[in-house]
Structure 1
Amino acid sequence: MINATRLFDCIRVQAEAPVNNLLNAKQNGEWKAYGTAEVHDKINQLAVSLLRMGVSAHDGTTEGRDKIALICSGRPEWLITDLAVQQIGAILVPLYPNTSNKELEQILNSAEVKCIFIGNKELCSKIAEISPNVPSLKWIFSFDRVDGCKHWEELLNPFTTEEYRQLQQISSGVRADQVSTIIYTSGTAGTPKGVMLTHENILSNVKACTEVLTEIPLREKKALSFLPLNHIFEKMCTYIYLFNGFSIYYAENMDTIGANMKEVKPYIFTAVPRLLEKVFERIMQEGQKLKGIKKKIFFTAINLAEQYEIKTGWWYQIKLAIADMLVFSKWRQAIGGNVKAIIVGSSACPVRLERIFTAAKMTVLEGYGLTETSPVIAVNRYSKNQRKYGTVGPLLKGVEVKIDGDGEILCKGPNVMRGYYKDPAMTALVLQDGWFHTGDIGELDQGYFLKITDRKKEIFKTSGGKYVAPLPIENRMKESLFIEQMMVIGAERKFTAALIVPSFTNLKLWCQQNKIAYLSNESIVENPMVISFYQSIIDSYNPEFNHVEQVKKFVLLPVEWTIEGGELTPTSKMKRRVILEKYKVEIEKIYTDETNEFTVMH
């Protein structure tokens, strides 16, 4: 049971059971451990320095309190800064490192940020470019040593007894209902909205999710972190770790996750479905390279895993145990050998992947929530009777949900945000009588498991007046190994169609097996045999949907949608409006070419 009212109370909890490796990161190719005492010293030193600079809570109102921005990837300095800012009653404004200059400028001015902490040289250049347009910004510090930018260690100085007493007095006055952070969400369209989350909001999620965590059999409390810490999902999970005596290891970058897992041997980590898809893709590549009996054993194991909890009984369990010994145990060793649970959020996870990883004894626990709900509303549990594939699990303790007349999921509870910063009109639109309108369509399966069926704004109507929910179609068809990304279209059109980005890695293997020359992505999506192959994939899934939902035509695209390309949000959700605009020529061709059953991009 966590006895705390503010997020930074984790400092007191940790002091009662200090460890030598509370936070860990790579420095010059070697892991450096930061013990509890060292971390706490740095937090207090930074907090006192900020007070010396004049950063304060002022009148205590959200508008009146100073805002400190933080833009970098996950590292110990991120958390140290977060906790220092909390203790002095200021408000943290965390930002994605890949946020565009225009959006950064908007956010920094909206929040009237006074001081910003930056990760590296590249980010220093980005902030230096826009800082003249942010009049409130007084100080810029970097965690890496960068010429022309003050290093954050300049703030880590000894303090007097009187200064420490003053810090303690200020921190004791911080209330649970005060805003701790403002997280700006870019969303799939529109201007960023500043979500105001209080200590109580996030801590209620931490406490409830801790109960979920205690079900998982962990021999060591060791977690690997690689998702952006400014995303509320990763931040909230991090505070679960901090309150429960975990050692946190930060991956060097997204490309080193596999290597870092082997080194750290974590028992738990958080991920987005896209990562699991990439990991499984690599597993399948290795499987395709096998020959003879080894290849047969590999794909028999995959087939068994796909039927996990569909088939039961002693004979299935024996076959699964053999598959585990011959195949799945090697998967676990490849990521350190200790992983017991993978907590998945941000977007829908393909059920096929959930079954496969769970069958391989790396239990996937998919949850659901929004930044505005701190974030978890529901999550699948480790216990089989508290987990159901195709749903996001039972509601979190203390969280209420009701389904509105149009199917929209409404949420009420201590986790629901204070509102949008400086936007009372938008706040009033989504918060009505204490109920937060999520914008998602769903249902309570068996009255217990929450199931997301679509986004309210993404459901469209064809020109024939029929409604189509694209998300279930996309999620189902993306279970194909050959479909990397997909967007179903057809608003005010005669029929449903789709934009498809192939899984080029798997497509290359298929082309090799079928003796098709693969010269480039651009040429291969125009190949008639490839197009026919994708038509057969679509045809295999279409019967699962009613006539109006079936994909009648599609276009194969040669370039993957990315955050950098502007098609995805920083949390990897599709920006549907952007994609529609970017490919309007190809879309028009779909609906004007009446002779072809399918089309490709030229």
Structure 2
Amino acid sequence: MREASTELLVEVDAASNVTDLLLEQQAANPAHALYRRKGPNGWVDVPAQKFLQDVSALAKGLIAGGLEPGDTVAVMSATSYEWTLVDFAIWFAGGVTVPIYETSSASQVEWILHDAGVRRVFAQDRDKAGLVTAVLAGSPLLRDRLVNVVRMDFEGDAPNLASLAAAGMGVTDAELERHRGKAVLDDVASLVYTSGTTGKPKGCEITHGNFALVAKNIVAFLPELLLQERARTLMFLPLAHVLARAVQVVCLAAGATLGHSPGAAGLLEDLGSFRPTFLLVVPRIFEKVRASAAHKAAAGGKARLFSAASATAIEYSKAEDRRSRGEGSGPGLLCRVRHGIFDRLLYPRLRQAMGGQVGYTVSGASPLSPEDAHFFRGAGIPVLEGYGLTETTAPCTANTPTRTRVGSVGIPIPGTTIRVAEDGEILVKGIGVFRGYHANQAANAEAFVDGFFRTGDLGELDRQGFLTITGRKKDLLVTAGGKNVAPGPLEEKIRAHRLVGHAVVVGDGKPFISALVTLDPEGLENWRSERGLPSLSIREAAGDRQVVAAVQDAVDQANLLVSKAESIRRFAVLDTEFTVESGHLTPSLKVKRHAVLRDFEAELGKLYA
């Protein structure tokens, strides 16, 4: 058993709550732009004073409507400024925020509203409001419950944010303060439901202390990102995800300006106009940006140049990594010369894709390929990979600008202890660990051991306290021959191929290891056009001999990582995609393994026939 800890850097008053972070920013500089809101004529600053006024107006509306401290209020919306506004209004009124992904199905909405005891819902627009209303009308669990649904806009008919603010005009500042100050650090601030990669989502009780302590200590832990002059970031991950929520509170504690982008459609344009100085990114975005850059280079007749630049970036970063470990002197002269040339010719274009001002990126939510991390760092976009779960209020470990090990997920954040049990399971104790699962004592009994939260992930700690994730305990495959196989590294290597969307390695109780592979539509189109092949749909490509041969190459490369007994013997290219809408991905783009195994049982049967 190994253990690593980082001392707490910042204490927080036990009688305070998350809303005090906003009051601190208002008191320090009322004119400082805490947020930037995108309008028809570009980005508009929202000063601390204005944000506090708008939050207070909505909070008074909630109080006028009967909200009592501790009441749960759901928010179903894509990432937006209004999401943040409503979140803080709920907290100021003394409520508990219950996020619901905007992509959630009717049955998921029903379960969360029921389990959390929700009586008020903020819905993004008329469509989402209609979905919630239909769920309420058709559910035997909710049919007799009076639930108010408010649209998250200021235009049109009531009930919406404008009518809610108007309803609260009679509530006094003293009454608002009574509600706002009711909660303390130990009280629940949010019920965040797990994404549900396995079974029915469980509500995680995230406290004010979890959010506030993590925020204050991350600011002190990563000052290079958060305390630089004019620090700003663009949030495009779903705010229903605890990682995005935690980062939102971190930005508030730091006074870093936050903008919002609702999704992938307009992201590149928003990055270019907002020009963030740091960015929270999931691994799939890194993969897409790199693949897109490679395709553009190939289309312009510069494939060999890009390949050389890519190899140089990776070589340069690896040399820097060895130096940080005390195992080398850094990049050699020839590598530095090549790197300097590419840093003038090619790398700036890559940096421009992320707005041109990004000094650091933070990767989380799922494992990042070390090759991608080296590529971006070598190209001048340092990647700080971290690790956490919903139950740890997102980050419990992270790399820092001065302490980075590519391939690891960093060291414990301040106020956190990481322990690796004898069976390899990662255990966590610290400021971010949640209070427990809502109304689920059986799950709570299984979740903790000796005061540590059992993550279910497998990992290793090195002598410097860096944690490396090696797999998922429940995902560990045991073949019929008794061989233990961790699917993660194999899946990651296959997914690195530009044609591949996702890979699911299987073989538990089977005579050998197999894989289900989906194709990436954009990668397929780029791959096809570069070879002068006719257009192929996903369904057509799944049976195309050249496509299958290319996927075989990816599988062969993955097999080089493992012994013959652990290698993939057979695979199937599926004629469909894994998406959030299909039910095979979580909103943070992680594969729901159980759903894949259930829905593609026939394909699996053919692999072992």
TM-score by length of 1: 0.92
Letter in 1 for 2:186: D
CA distance in 2, matches of 1:462, 1:176: 47
CA distance in 2, matches of 1:11, 1:287: 46
Query: Contact 1:390–1:451 at 8 Å: present in 2 too?
Result: yes
Letter in 2 for 1:200: G
* Structure with bigger RCO (C-alpha 8 Å, 6+ apart): 2
CA distance in 1, matches of 2:529, 2:303: 17
1:380-429 alpha-carbon deviations (Å, 9 max, x no partner): 1112xx11111101111111111112111111112111111110110111
2:289 alignment partner in structure 1: 279
2:450 alignment partner in structure 1: 433
Q: How far off is 1:3 after superposition? A: 5.8
Letter in 1 for 2:64: R
Is 1:306 aligned to 2:314, yes or no? yes
Q: How far off is 1:92 after superposition? A: 1.0
Letter in 2 for 1:53: G
Structure 2 counterparts to residues 344-423 of structure 1, below 5 A: 344-383=363-402, 386-423=403-440
2:536 alignment partner in structure 1: 519
Structure 2 counterparts to residues 496-511 of structure 1, below 5 A: 496-511=513-528
Structure 1, unaligned runs of 5 or more: 58-64, 593-602
Q: How far off is 1:17 after superposition? A: 1.3
Is 1:120 aligned to 2:125, yes or no? yes
CA distance in 1, matches of 2:453, 2:242: 17
Letter in 2 for 1:287: A
1:555 alignment partner in structure 2: 572
Query: Contact 1:113–1:136 at 8 Å: present in 2 too?
Result: no
1:190-247 alpha-carbon deviations (Å, 9 max, x no partner): 1110000111112221122112320338442111111111211011111111111121
Letter in 2 for 1:298: F
Structure 1 pair 101/29, CA: closer, same or farther in 2 (3 Å)? farther
Query: Contact 2:317–2:377 at 8 Å: present in 1 too?
Result: no
1:567-591 alpha-carbon deviations (Å, 9 max, x no partner): 1112211111111121111111111
2:326 alignment partner in structure 1: none
1:178 alignment partner in structure 2: 187
Query: Contact 1:183–1:195 at 8 Å: present in 2 too?
Result: yes
Q: How far off is 1:112 after superposition? A: 1.2
Query: Contact 2:459–2:470 at 8 Å: present in 1 too?
Result: yes
1:45-99 alpha-carbon deviations (Å, 9 max, x no partner): 1222212211112xxxxxxx31111111222222222222212322111111111
Query: Contact 2:491–2:505 at 8 Å: present in 1 too?
Result: yes
What is the aligned counterpart of 2:172 among 163, 185, 191? 163
Q: How far off is 1:320 after superposition? A: 0.9
2:115 alignment partner in structure 1: 110
Q: How far off is 1:492 after superposition? A: 1.1
Query: Contact 1:273–1:348 at 8 Å: present in 2 too?
Result: yes
RMSD of equivalent CA atoms: 2.1
1:203 alignment partner in structure 2: 212
Structure 2, unaligned runs of 5 or more: 1-9, 320-330
1:60 alignment partner in structure 2: none
Count of paired positions? 581
Range 249-258 or range 25-34, more displaced:
25-34
1:510-530 alpha-carbon deviations (Å, 9 max, x no partner): 444555444322222222233
1:311-334 alpha-carbon deviations (Å, 9 max, x no partner): 312331221121111001122223
1:71 alignment partner in structure 2: 76
Q: How far off is 1:509 after superposition? A: 4.1
TM-score by length of 2: 0.91
What is the aligned counterpart of 1:543 among 554, 560, 565? 560
Q: How far off is 1:171 after superposition? A: 2.4
Q: How far off is 1:360 after superposition? A: 1.7
Structure 1 pair 505/571, CA: closer, same or farther in 2 (3 Å)? closer
What is the aligned counterpart of 2:549 among 523, 527, 532? 532
1:8 alignment partner in structure 2: 19
2:300 alignment partner in structure 1: 290
Is 1:139 aligned to 2:148, yes or no? yes
Query: Contact 2:17–2:181 at 8 Å: present in 1 too?
Result: no
Is 1:35 aligned to 2:51, yes or no? no
Q: How far off is 1:432 after superposition? A: 2.5
Is 1:327 aligned to 2:346, yes or no? yes
Aligned-pair identity in percent equals 29
1:192 alignment partner in structure 2: 201
CA distance in 2, matches of 1:351, 1:562: 24
Structure 2 counterparts to residues 37-56 of structure 1, below 5 A: 37-56=49-68
Q: How far off is 1:158 after superposition? A: 8.8
Structure 1 pair 77/528, CA: closer, same or farther in 2 (3 Å)? closer
Query: Contact 1:2–1:243 at 8 Å: present in 2 too?
Result: no
Letter in 1 for 2:279: F
CA distance in 1, matches of 2:198, 2:165: 40
Structure 2 counterparts to residues 446-457 of structure 1, below 5 A: 446-457=463-474
Q: How far off is 1:148 after superposition? A: 6.7
Query: Contact 1:226–1:253 at 8 Å: present in 2 too?
Result: yes
CA distance in 2, matches of 1:464, 1:220: 58
CA distance in 2, matches of 1:25, 1:271: 20
Range 450-459 or range 510-519, more displaced:
510-519
Q: How far off is 1:147 after superposition? A: 6.7
Structure 2 counterparts to residues 563-578 of structure 1, below 5 A: 563-578=580-595
What is the aligned counterpart of 1:336 among 343, 352, 355? 355
2:327 alignment partner in structure 1: none
Q: How far off is 1:430 after superposition? A: 0.4
Structure 2 counterparts to residues 209-224 of structure 1, below 5 A: 209-216=218-225, 218-224=228-234
2:512 alignment partner in structure 1: 495
Letter in 2 for 1:480: H
Letter in 1 for 2:57: Q
Q: How far off is 1:449 after superposition? A: 0.7
CA distance in 2, matches of 1:313, 1:19: 49
Query: Contact 1:24–1:248 at 8 Å: present in 2 too?
Result: yes
Query: Contact 1:252–1:260 at 8 Å: present in 2 too?
Result: no
Q: How far off is 1:160 after superposition? A: 7.2
Letter in 2 for 1:175: V
Letter in 1 for 2:459: G
Range 99-108 or range 76-85, more displaced:
76-85
Query: Contact 1:218–1:340 at 8 Å: present in 2 too?
Result: no
CA distance in 1, matches of 2:407, 2:168: 54
Letter in 2 for 1:519: L
CA distance in 1, matches of 2:470, 2:298: 34
Structure 1 pair 160/553, CA: closer, same or farther in 2 (3 Å)? closer
CA distance in 2, matches of 1:160, 1:117: 19
1:596 alignment partner in structure 2: none
Query: Contact 1:454–1:471 at 8 Å: present in 2 too?
Result: yes
Query: Contact 2:57–2:169 at 8 Å: present in 1 too?
Result: no
Query: Contact 1:112–1:136 at 8 Å: present in 2 too?
Result: no
2:336 alignment partner in structure 1: 317
CA distance in 1, matches of 2:476, 2:594: 13
CA distance in 2, matches of 1:528, 1:171: 64
Query: Contact 2:515–2:572 at 8 Å: present in 1 too?
Result: yes
Report SS of the residue matched to 2:265.
helix
Range 538-547 or range 455-464, more displaced:
538-547
Letter in 2 for 1:84: A
1:248 alignment partner in structure 2: 258
CA distance in 2, matches of 1:162, 1:589: 66
